[in-house]
Amino acid sequence: MCGVCGLLGGGPHWSAAAGLMEPAAVLTARAERARTVLLLNRLTLPRGVRISTWSGTSLLVAGPTGAQEIVESLSEVWPAVDRLGRGRLDPLLPATLPAPPLAGDSHA
């Protein structure tokens, strides 16, 4: 399965799409999920929410009080972040998003 299809929760019929990615750009499903988690955490950590992979195929969403939820797809992440985190991320309100990193910053 290519990252394009896996991220939006595509069904098994999307697995054939892997052939459309340039070979050099194809990540394994696990590598793609790890990258998604990294990016998600950049948005959610300032809200006290840490996201990690769970059992290879799911995501664990952990709030600042220790409450946790397991979700299956990206579309389930945001409601969980709303429930567990401090305040709400709104892509149309830049003040609710983290500040862009300065040049030379690296996020591990």
Residues that bind other proteins (CB under 8 A): 3-5, 7-14, 17, 19-22, 24-26, 32, 35-36, 39-40, 42-43, 74-75, 77-79, 88-92, 94, 97-101, 105-107
Q: Whole-number minimum distance, CB 56 to other proteins, in Å?
A: 18
Q: Whole-number minimum distance, CB 33 to other proteins, in Å?
A: 10
Nearest to 45 by CA among 70, 68, 63: 63
Confirm if 15 and 1 have CB atoms less than 8 A apart.
yes
- Quick one: 66 or 108, whose CB is closer to other proteins? 108
CB-based burial label for 80 (10 Å; 0-12, 13-18, 19+): buried
Q: What is the sign, positive or negative, of the torsion defined by CA atoms of 59, 70, 41, 83?
A: positive
- Quick one: 37 or 66, whose CB is closer to other proteins? 37
- Quick one: 60 or 89, whose CB is closer to other proteins? 89
